[in-house]
Amino acid sequence: MTDDTIERQALFDGLVYNEQGEPAPVRYVGGVAHYAIPDNGFLRHVEAVTVDNAVLATIKEQITSMQDEVVRGMLAMIGKDDIFTKAAIDASIRNLETNVRRSDPNQWLPWLRLFGFRIIVNVHGEVVRLIYPEQPPGGDD
């Protein structure tokens, strides 16, 4: 997949909503993906790459702020605790944006939808809030 192709796709199709809770569907203008954000009966088209980059930056910032805990959790989850696996996880976090952009969103979008992940944007396409799935009570077992 070329960088140009990557920049033309929408990563979070079906997960973007305006502040009133209305979905912002993906529309293509000149072959470039845009989120069509409802605004009082009008659709404001914002390039998907702009919204997607802001979402990825926010997620990366949140992961990086607790990177040690995330890495420990990943090591425990996969049952390994060696320096090479830790280095691979650290590199994956550093390259989060690139890794997500080069992946196939059809593999993970249904799961994000199913668990309630939402991206709330204002009419200018600025990310206002990310809504993460909540873990059910007693899920730490």
Query: How does pLDDT run across 62-88, given as a tens digit for each residue?
Result: 888 888 888 888 899 888 888 898 899
Q: Which residues, other chains included, contact 34 with Cβ-Cβ below 8 Å and sequence gap of 6+?
A: 10, 26, 27, 28, 45, 46, 47, 48
Q: Is the pLDDT of residue 2 over 70?
A: no
Nearest of 96, 90, 45 to residue 68 by alpha carbon:
90
Per-residue confidence (pLDDT) for residue 3, from 0 to 100? 58
- pLDDT mean over 25-44: 95
Which residues form the domain of 98? 3-131
Taking 3-state DSSP, the helix, strand and coil percentages for the chain, each rounded to the nearest 5, stand at: 45, 20, 35
Per-residue confidence (pLDDT) for residue 101, from 0 to 100? 86
> Higher confidence at residue 51 or residue 138?
51
* Mean of pLDDT over the chain: 88
Q: How many domains are there within the chain? A: 1
**Cα dihedral: 98, 122, 43, 55 (round 10):** 10
